[in-house]
Chain A
Amino acid sequence: QSVLTQPPSASGTPGQRVTISCSGSSSNIGSKNVNWYQQLPGTAPKLLIYGNDQRPSGVPDRFSGSRSGTSASLAISGLQSEDEADYYCAAWDDSLNAVVFGGGTKLTVL
């Protein structure tokens, strides 16, 4: 069982806006920055969002992140077929003194 909780699956049609949630606690999301990763099949994860809502260079602005209390969300607008992937949230946990990941959300583009 993961420290951060994500829905196992999400779906949307091309052009749609989809959000993926990540729920934690005061020892992680509630007080530490959240990252989001995209993992295409057979490849290493790619950093999409850091610092809750910051995009690394090269990440399209269709991807956005937010944090409120002990939860965070990743939003993908203008959904494209190539967005079909697994998405993971991550944060530092002060109680565990460790980086913790969500269990991952498999996004299907219908």
Chain B
Amino acid sequence: QVQLQESGPGLVKPSETLSLTCVVSGGSISGYYWSWIRQPPGKGLEWIGYIYYSGTTTYNPSLKSRVTMSVDTSKNQFSLELSSVTAADTAVYYCARPLRPGFIYGFEHWGQGTLVTVSS
């Protein structure tokens, strides 16, 4: 059974860069689109973007200027960087994988989520 686990600092200062990694276990990172999704406290879900195992990326236009995703197939993990963060970036960040190879969405597998707070 595929498992995803996010890791990274739980507290980031305003204007700095948020960095998270998602480690994939129980399955290969190859063949899939891997997404980051966030959820501010008490609010709804927001898709941040995806990275294909080959490295191709697509980002949400609302965050595109600040987002960078990367993948390390040798370590079976992928990462998110969000620059120039503000309090509005405080959220639970999830990594997620779709149901089948080639699917961009239809997220069947999710990490447990990690709360990132932006505060000085």
Q: Is the CB of B105 within 8 A of A92?
A: yes
The answer to whether residues A45 and B45 also contact, given A56-B99, A97-B58, A98-B61 and a CB cut-off of 8 A, is yes
Distance (Å) between the CB of B93 and the closest chain A CB? Answer: 11
* Closest A residue by C-beta to B95: A44
The answer to whether residues A101 and B46 also contact, given A44-B110, A50-B99 and a CB cut-off of 8 A, is yes
Q: How large is the interface on B (under 10, 10 to 19, 20 to 34, 35 or more residues)?
A: 20 to 34
Query: Chain A 78-110 against B: per-residue CB contact (8 Å), 1 yes, 0 no?
Result: 000000000010111000111111111000000
User: A68 an interface residue at 8 Å Cβ cutoff?
Assistant: no
Q: Is the CB of A47 within 8 A of B61?
A: no
Residues of B within 8 A of A (CB): 35, 44-47, 49-50, 58-61, 94, 99, 103-108, 110-113
Can you report 28 residue pairs joining A to B where beta carbons are below 8 Å apart?
Answer: A2-B44, A35-B106, A37-B45, A44-B110, A44-B111, A44-B112, A44-B113, A45-B94, A45-B107, A46-B110, A50-B99, A50-B103, A51-B106, A56-B99, A90-B47, A91-B105, A92-B104, A96-B61, A97-B61, A98-B47, A98-B49, A98-B58, A98-B61, A99-B60, A100-B47, A101-B45, A104-B44, A104-B45
